[in-house]
A and B are shown apart, each in its own frame.
Chain A
Amino acid sequence: MHSFIDNTLLSRLGALPIESRVPMLGNVAGKHRSPHRGSSVEFAEYRKYVPGDDTRRLDWKAFARSDRFYIKEFEADTNLRAYFVVDASGSMKFAGKGEAKIQYARRIAASLAYLLVNQGDAAGLSICTDKLHLEVPPSRRAAHLERFFSTLGKLEPAGETGLLGALHTIAEKIGQRAFVVILSDLFTDPAALGDALQHLRYRKHDISLFHLMDPQEIGFEFERPHRFVDLEDGTALVVEPNLIADEYKTALRDFLTAVRAKCHDASADYQLVTTDTPLEPLLREFLTARLPKSKR
């Protein structure tokens, strides 16, 4: 059993479906809307009969009322393919006052993947650093989850981030619409991040972004001089935190504002999450917010 899987949490969240915000293009029937007309029970629209249409789909009652042939169309339901893009750069190793960001990312990814597979959708994993881009293709099978969890468990953050490259790769590689869940601290250029998100958006993917931050990274509260060593490239800097706290917070605030704006521009679902946040309310809120208003 993996440490990042909380059965109690999963059982509590099991009743909540994971909905896609955009119609999905799946291979098999499922619970999610499709852009194509199908055979679900949900009425979509009438259209005029054209020769070649299946006569079984003619609406005879409409013909009786109007003396014209109409085809009654229904929504098509399909399954959802989710890609969890986990940033495995060295910065994700940071564990200040909360747990390590990578561990928090594992818990989110594992929980959501479990819920997806459990409702018949496919979940895939993409792990990225500047030197590594590891992928677990999406699959609906329950046995696939073990591979998913195992890959997550073996994940060892190191090096600089390769998130942007991974996002572009995913955007290019996935042919059909998918649910892309990004788990990262996003320590990269917001403009480049915006470009990558736009790329995904262009491919009509449903994007959710969990921006993981440690409370210490946000609060920046230190009493004495510290030697800060970069987790990604090893750069060291000795500073007196009291002296630069204001500038640090200002820079962080500007960064978060820029990231939030880029996500908004790309219609991505942005969640700034500190690693001391309890997971259950976070995921419950996340899942509830994705439900259609009629189901909330």
Chain B
Amino acid sequence: MLFLSPLFLWFLAAAAVPIAIHLINRRRHKTIQWAAMQFLLKAARQSRGKKKLRHILILTCRALGVAALALAAARPIVSGLIGWGGGSIDTVVLLLDRSASMEIKPGDGLESRRQIVIKKVRDAMADLGATRLVLIDSASNKPQEVPSPEILPDLAAAAGTDTAADFPALLTRAAEFLTETSGRSEVWLASDLQASNWHPDDERWAATRAGLASLPQKPAFRVLSLTGATAPDSSVRLLATRRSGDELLIDLEVLRSGEARGTTSIPLTTHLNGTRTTETLTVPGQSLRFQKRVALPSASDTGHGWLTIPADGNARNNAAFFAYGPAHPVKTLVVSAPGESADYLALAAAPPGFGNLSTQRVEAGQAATAITADLAAILWAAPLPTGATAETVQRFLTSGGQVLFLAPGSASDTPFIDLKWSDPTEPPAGKFFILKDWNHSDGPLRDGIEGTPVAANRLKAIRRQIPLGDASPLGRWEDGEPAITRRIIDHGTAWFLGSIPDYTWSNLGDADVLLPAVQRIIAAGTERFDASYLAIAGSAAAGILPGETRSRLDDQGTPDPANAEYEAGVFRLGERLLAVNRPPQEDTPEILSREALDTVLDGTNYTLLDQAGQANDPALSRDVWRAFLVAVLFFFISEGLLCLPKSPSSKS
């Protein structure tokens, strides 16, 4: 509760007046000589209970009536948002989550959570009177003075975006701003508590909390939780695109909101270079992953398009944008001594019938000169590189290349990127090393986009080498030793597989494992060639470079030029073509738990205003002086009734 005219609170002292009058009256008694004392004593004894209580109630009613009158005059505002306070708030810092997930509509309204909470904040600010409002939105992360709360819903800086929010950064920015602000402040966090926006495990929280704790005047924190039931919603998400000749391979995912059950049909419309085709997707359950092949016009060097599903609870997640460049030959370098292993690797890298795939075979000694920037991947079945070759391979990795190191057949003399091979080992006679556990959602052995698993359990080895060093294992042999590991080097990835496709080693050459693994590694290597056509909204890649101008090419939705840099769409930036999509984490429904919120905001004594985003919930604050006036009437009428003499009938 907050009081807009706190000076009137001094009149609360007037509540003591009836009690003081009572006490003074008791002291200012008149002395009288009395004869009928026996009745007086008896009456005094009998009146100790009910009568005394009645008298106390009368006094209480008088005191409370006066107190309620003083409180009403102080213009109280009651709210879960605004805490208790004796004075007015000087500054409210509104941290507004403008992420795409905030555009979902609650189950009971036609406006998005962001719009609802903005209006509630506007009304609450109007109740607060002359309080300064500073907006720090999640898209720009810059403090912005709001001259009047009335314009808050119309501010471009409060409009919806396709970006993600970063609350550790937002709170850090708020702490920096408050360091330079004097007076009583409050920080209002309007968010749907999407876990991906709060990064509860982020190490930056410690620094953020320290920054908030070091503020000279501690602000009050109010979390406007915009959770709860939502309108039915489906989203379409672009997982990856890859041009393969005259086809564009688009990996897509369609998600339905958590409450969705059963199978449903969703029309998917493809917009490509001005043409539009629609197909119907059958979504079993809550998600569907699939690869869409889009035939590109012949001799089409560049182009763009987008895929849409019908409008629903959240208009921001119904489109996925793509752009593509000229067809790029996919080159793979096989570094291996001639032999069965090199043959299998070359075959897996460039199977017959795929004209855009090519491979080059060299031995380790010539690798340094064969490694060029246009390679998609390197398959290295030789001792780990050393010297100048190692430096060349490392540069290739740093620039985004993919290298698959296979067991060389002998232990490493010197490590490469701190990793090396163990001595070759063999299983007991009559036994095999069998791949048992592997990561089904990540890495080259992951399940297919439709969920089909790779038959990695068919991999049996009679010789193996263990990759040693600090790397993430993605698959293990039956005995728990790592079979395949990953080490990320800047933009590239080094993979280590502890066998080779040679019958004296394993059945890796049977193609159950080798072909998908190699092709996925090559596909990952080619992504960097198409990466310049894709960006995430709000990221640096989506920004314009000096001298560039931004123009939007698609006509999806209702673009807001003022927020173009935070919106998804297909843009021409100078000479560049860029498809911008919302961050994938915006489609994940995971909500920050109360415990996690307690942890990240530890020490702030925050107040959680739950369900603030529901349309039919009351306003964040209410001017309640009328209620206090009613209380005044109630107390004084009660006092009057208590003071009434008993009716003659009851006397008799």
Chain A residues with CB under 8 Å of chain B are 90-94, 101, 185, 187, 213-214, 217, 224-232, 235, 237-240, 243-248, 250-252, 255
Does chain A have a CB within 8 A of B431?
Answer: no
Q: Which residue of B lies closest to A248 (CB)?
A: B43
- B26: chain A residues at CB < 8 Å are 225, 238, 240
In the complex, are the beta carbons of B651 and A246 less than 8 A apart?
yes
Q: Given A187-B36, A246-B651, is A229 in contact with B43 using a C-beta cutoff of 8 Å?
A: no
Kindly state the separation between the CA atoms of A92 and B33 in the bound complex, as whole angstroms: 11
Sorted nearest first, the 4 A-B pairs with minimum C-beta distance are A91-B35, A247-B43, A94-B35, A248-B43
- B36: chain A residues at CB < 8 Å are 91, 185, 187, 213, 217, 252
Kindly state the separation between the CA atoms of A93 and B32 in the bound complex, as whole angstroms: 12
- A92: chain B residues at CB < 8 Å are 35
Does chain A have a CB within 8 A of B31?
Answer: yes
Question: Which residue of B31, B51, B646 is within 8 Å of A226 (Cβ)?
Answer: B31
Q: 8 Å CB contacts to A: which residues of B42-56?
A: 42-44, 46-47, 51-52, 55
In the complex, are the beta carbons of A231 and B51 less than 8 A apart?
no
In the complex, are the beta carbons of A228 and B52 less than 8 A apart?
no
Q: Which residue of A lies closest to B650 (CB)?
A: A246
Q: Which residue of B lies closest to A214 (CB)?
A: B35
In the complex, are the beta carbons of A255 and B30 less than 8 A apart?
no
- A91: chain B residues at CB < 8 Å are 35-37
Kindly state the separation between the CA atoms of A95 and B217 in the bound complex, as whole angstroms: 71
Kindly state the separation between the CA atoms of A228 and B29 in the bound complex, as whole angstroms: 10
- A239: chain B residues at CB < 8 Å are 40, 43-44
Kindly state the separation between the CA atoms of A246 and B50 in the bound complex, as whole angstroms: 12
Kindly state the separation between the CA atoms of A246 and B46 in the bound complex, as whole angstroms: 10
In the complex, are the beta carbons of B40 and A228 less than 8 A apart?
yes
Kindly state the separation between the CA atoms of A240 and B41 in the bound complex, as whole angstroms: 12
In the complex, are the beta carbons of A244 and B44 less than 8 A apart?
yes
- A246: chain B residues at CB < 8 Å are 43, 51, 646, 651
In the complex, are the beta carbons of B40 and A244 less than 8 A apart?
yes
In the complex, are the beta carbons of B31 and A237 less than 8 A apart?
no
A-B contact pairs, 16 of them (CB 8 A): A92-B35, A94-B33, A224-B29, A225-B28, A226-B31, A227-B30, A227-B32, A228-B34, A229-B33, A230-B37, A231-B34, A231-B35, A231-B37, A246-B43, A251-B46, A255-B39
Q: Which residue of A lies closest to B36 (CB)?
A: A217
In the complex, are the beta carbons of B33 and A243 less than 8 A apart?
no
Question: Which residue of A187, A224, A232, A247 is within 8 Å of B30 (Cβ)?
Answer: A224
Does chain A have a CB within 8 A of B25?
Answer: yes
- B42: chain A residues at CB < 8 Å are 247-248, 251
In the complex, are the beta carbons of B46 and A185 less than 8 A apart?
no
In the complex, are the beta carbons of B39 and A251 less than 8 A apart?
yes
- B31: chain A residues at CB < 8 Å are 226-227, 229
- B35: chain A residues at CB < 8 Å are 90-94, 101, 185, 187, 214, 217, 230-232
A243 to chain B, nearest CB (A): 5
B639 to chain A, nearest CB (A): 14
B59 to chain A, nearest CB (A): 11
Kindly state the separation between the CA atoms of A90 and B47 in the bound complex, as whole angstroms: 27
Does chain A have a CB within 8 A of B38?
Answer: yes
In the complex, are the beta carbons of B44 and A237 less than 8 A apart?
yes
Kindly state the separation between the CA atoms of A90 and B34 in the bound complex, as whole angstroms: 10
In the complex, are the beta carbons of B39 and A248 less than 8 A apart?
yes
In the complex, are the beta carbons of A248 and B40 less than 8 A apart?
yes
Q: Given A91-B35, A251-B43, A252-B36, is A243 in contact with B51 using a C-beta cutoff of 8 Å?
A: yes
Kindly state the separation between the CA atoms of A245 and B46 in the bound complex, as whole angstroms: 11
Q: Given A237-B44, A243-B52, A244-B43, is A225 in contact with B29 using a C-beta cutoff of 8 Å?
A: yes
Kindly state the separation between the CA atoms of A227 and B31 in the bound complex, as whole angstroms: 4
B564 to chain A, nearest CB (A): 79
Question: Which residue of B30, B39, B46, B55 is within 8 Å of A252 (Cβ)?
Answer: B39
Q: Which residue of A lies closest to B29 (CB)?
A: A225
- A228: chain B residues at CB < 8 Å are 32, 34, 37, 40
B67 to chain A, nearest CB (A): 23
Kindly state the separation between the CA atoms of A91 and B46 in the bound complex, as whole angstroms: 23
- B44: chain A residues at CB < 8 Å are 237, 239, 244, 247
Q: Which of B30, B55, B651 has the most chain A CB atoms closer than 10 A to its own CB?
A: B30
Kindly state the separation between the CA atoms of A90 and B35 in the bound complex, as whole angstroms: 8
In the complex, are the beta carbons of B40 and A225 less than 8 A apart?
no
Kindly state the separation between the CA atoms of A212 and B390 in the bound complex, as whole angstroms: 128
In the complex, are the beta carbons of B40 and A237 less than 8 A apart?
yes
In the complex, are the beta carbons of B40 and A243 less than 8 A apart?
no
Kindly state the separation between the CA atoms of A90 and B37 in the bound complex, as whole angstroms: 12
Q: Given A244-B51, A247-B51, A248-B43, is A231 in contact with B29 using a C-beta cutoff of 8 Å?
A: no
Q: Which of B34, B46, B51, B52 has the most chain A CB atoms closer than 10 A to its own CB?
A: B34
Q: Which residue of A lies closest to B51 (CB)?
A: A243
In the complex, are the beta carbons of B43 and A230 less than 8 A apart?
no
In the complex, are the beta carbons of A243 and B47 less than 8 A apart?
yes
Q: 8 Å CB contacts to A: which residues of B1-45?
A: 25-26, 28-44
B647 to chain A, nearest CB (A): 12
In the complex, are the beta carbons of A187 and B38 less than 8 A apart?
yes
Q: Which of A226, A244, A252 has the most chain B CB atoms closer than 10 A to its own CB?
A: A244
In the complex, are the beta carbons of A226 and B52 less than 8 A apart?
no
Kindly state the separation between the CA atoms of A229 and B31 in the bound complex, as whole angstroms: 7
Kindly state the separation between the CA atoms of A237 and B44 in the bound complex, as whole angstroms: 9
Q: Which residue of A lies closest to B30 (CB)?
A: A226
Kindly state the separation between the CA atoms of A246 and B26 in the bound complex, as whole angstroms: 20
In the complex, are the beta carbons of A235 and B37 less than 8 A apart?
yes
B559 to chain A, nearest CB (A): 78
Question: Which residue of B25, B34, B43, B47 is within 8 Å of A224 (Cβ)?
Answer: B25
Q: Which residue of B lies closest to A238 (CB)?
A: B29
Given A229-B31, A235-B37, A244-B46, 13 further pairs, Cβ under 8 A: A187-B38, A214-B35, A226-B32, A227-B29, A228-B34, A235-B41, A240-B25, A243-B51, A247-B46, A248-B39, A248-B43, A251-B39, A251-B43
